[in-house]
Amino acid sequence: MYEATPARIHFVDLLSWETANFEQTLARLISKKTRGKRVLILNDMVEQHYRKERVPHAGPLYRFVLLRRRLAEVFRPHPIRAALRLKEEGASLSEQRSLRQEERGVSGAMYLFAGVPMTGALCKVMEGVRLSLARVDGFCLLPVESAGMVRALSRKLAGKGDRQAKWSLFMGQHQSGGLRQIVVRDGELALTRMTPMADINVDPGEWSEEIIAEFKTTMGYLSRFGYEAADGLDIIVVCGSAPTDFLEETLRTEGRVHFLSSLDAADILGLRLGPQDDVCSADPVHVAWVAKKRIFSLPLGHRRLSRISLPRRAAAFAAFVMTSFLFLFAFQIFFGMQDMSTLRHNLDLAAQQKAGIALSLKEDRSRERETGYDFAFVRDASAVFERIEDARLRPLDVLRDVGEALEPQMALEEMDISKGKTVVTLSFPKTLSPAEAYEASLHFRDAVRKKFPAAQVDILRHVAGMGYRGKFSGYTDGPSSVSAGEKLTAVISIVSGGAGDE
């Protein structure tokens, strides 16, 4: 178990599978060390199964279904499985496509299928993670995730004039005692092996002999994968310096050999390990390489992992939402306090202005008293004069405007002028018929309305009672329509404030 930080990789503890109450012990370690950090399960067990297959080209949705179905067929007894699309190998893409069509008769992309059985040890690990209530970041396979690390090391270790080797072999012993070998061809995982080994710190000679034996076995596998000496091979061994000259001579016969400590490998890759008690262990390099990844090469999923991770992710999302609301509330409080501060400043400014105006008024009144005049009496007298002036009648102006509105055939019989209202009585000669007199009164009313646009002008009494509302139905003309000796008169009112209705 390791704790990864940006500054260092810290070894926490090594638990044996035979540890009593393994799940509870692991849960306590995770709870104590994580402190809200995410947990990544990096599988480095022996029980890992791989297979390369070419999958026909298909649309995204059908390709997903096809891969899922094919994975279930290949790794039926293994519930944890996934597929990784590999880059094309060889010279050019067109040549590879033609070779595939000629030799295999099918076209498609090459995939690496991976399957992991649900062993008792893996069940213990998942149960411990579940009990810890930590958030699971993912479940990955160490050889797949570290294949890019091996490729990067091989490229950085190659000299300026050296040809880049097609094959790279990484050999590193872990804290658990196993030797993990990762073979990469053209940057893609080609082979991985996990075997128990002696401790290099206890017996370097025995360790060297076992390394040579495992190396020869691995080279036998590579010959079946198409390895040729002309392809070139980089051999990277994490052990510090070479324990024996015989080991270095044996490995050098097959390719370029590099003996590195874990700190040397980390420096070449630009990783930070911090102080390490055991520089011959390759675990910290793998952990640092995978920890810096934002996206894993081949994340594996399983319903048991989902039951562990989904509640944690939901809780993390809920915490994020709550934190967002708290920040929003804090921003609102902050801006509210700013507004309150602005209001207080404005109130203080208004109070200062009021005090200044009051002082200025006091000084003005003091100067008024010094002059010997009663300015208050003058102001009151002026206000009374303005009210009287506003209420004063101006009959000449009304007579002028009414006289201008009169027509030659009508006479001003009577005019009653009062405050806000004027009543005009018109008379018409008997040479006019009532209908003509009625039309003349309407013309007069319209002319007065133009003279007094702000007044309400109405006919209070029409000529010979011929007023109407709504539709005019007609009138009776002739001497019989008016009584003998009756005058043709009309009464019009002019009221200030409003337009009249016809």
Distances (CA, A) of 292 to 7, 13, 286, 295, 296: 11, 21, 10, 9, 10
The model's confidence at residue 482, banded by pLDDT at 50, 70 and 90, is low
The pLDDT of residue 502 is above 50: no
Please report the pLDDT score of residue 284 as a whole number.
92
Bridging pattern class, strands 135-141 and 411-418:
unpaired
Contacts with 263 (C-beta within 8 Å, 6 or more apart), sequence order: 273, 276, 279
Please report the pLDDT score of residue 415 as a whole number.
86
Rounded CA gap, 252 and 248, in Å?
A: 6
Rounded CA gap, 135 and 36, in Å?
A: 8
Contact between 218 and 181 under an 8 Å Cβ cutoff? The reply is yes
The pLDDT of residue 401 is above 90: no
The two three-digit tokens of residue 27, written as one number? 């849960």
Q: List the 233-238 sheet strands across, edge first.
A: 188-196, 178-185, 167-173, 233-238, 256-260
Map tokens 């649309």 to a residue.
Answer: 59
In order of start, what are the domains of the chain with their CATH numbers?
2-47+119-301 (3.30.420.260), 321-392 (no CATH), 395-496 (3.30.980)
Please report the pLDDT score of residue 180 as a whole number.
93
Please report the pLDDT score of residue 159 as a whole number.
74
Contact between 110 and 86 under an 8 Å Cβ cutoff? The reply is yes
Average pLDDT in the 372-390 region?
73
In the chain, the amino acid numbered 279 is V
Q: Which residues pair with 180 in a beta bridge?
A: 172, 194
- DSSP-derived letter for residue 234 is E
Please report the pLDDT score of residue 486 as a whole number.
67
Rounded CA gap, 232 and 108, in Å?
A: 28
Contact between 127 and 308 under an 8 Å Cβ cutoff? The reply is no
Map tokens 């009625």 to a residue.
Answer: 438
Q: Which tens digits make up the pLDDT trace of 125-134?
A: 988 888 887 8
Contact between 114 and 141 under an 8 Å Cβ cutoff? The reply is yes
- DSSP-derived letter for residue 339 is H
Burial 241-273 (b: 16+ CB within 10 A, else e): ebbeeebeebbeebbbbbbbbbbebbebeebeb
Rounded CA gap, 65 and 410, in Å?
A: 105
Map tokens 């016809």 to a residue.
Answer: 502
DSSP character string of 91-127: S-HHHHHHHHHHHTS--EEEEEEEEE---HHHHHHHH
Contacts with 111 (C-beta within 8 Å, 6 or more apart), sequence order: 52, 53, 54, 55, 67, 83, 84, 85, 86
The pLDDT of residue 500 is above 80: no
The model's confidence at residue 361, banded by pLDDT at 50, 70 and 90, is confident
Q: Which residues pair with 421 in a beta bridge?
A: 418, 495
Angle at 485 between CA 480 and CA 488, to 5 degrees: 80
Contact between 153 and 264 under an 8 Å Cβ cutoff? The reply is no
The pLDDT of residue 501 is above 70: no
Phi, psi of 480 (to 5 degrees): -75, -10
Burial 402-441 (b: 16+ CB within 10 A, else e): beebbeeebeeeeeeeeeeebebbbbbeeebbbbebbebb
Q: Which tens digits make up the pLDDT trace of 135-189?
A: 888 889 999 999 999 999 999 988 777 788 899 999 998 888 889 999 999 889 9
User: Would you give the end-to-end CA distance of the chain in angstroms?
Assistant: 101
Q: Which tens digits make up the pLDDT trace of 289-298?
A: 999 988 899 9
Map tokens 């929003």 to a residue.
Answer: 328
Rounded CA gap, 502 and 496, in Å?
A: 17
In the chain, the amino acid numbered 35 is R
Tell me which residue of 141, 234, 255 sits closest to 187, measured CA to CA: 234
Please report the pLDDT score of residue 88 as a whole number.
64
The mean of the pLDDT values for the chain is: 82
Please report the pLDDT score of residue 485 as a whole number.
57
Please report the pLDDT score of residue 167 as a whole number.
92
Average pLDDT in the 402-413 region?
87
Please report the pLDDT score of residue 252 as a whole number.
81
Please report the pLDDT score of residue 184 as a whole number.
93
Other C-beta atoms lying within 10 Å of the C-beta of residue 134? 22
Q: Which tens digits make up the pLDDT trace of 422-480?
A: 899 999 988 888 888 889 889 999 998 988 888 889 989 988 777 654 444 444 444 44
The pLDDT of residue 258 is above 80: yes
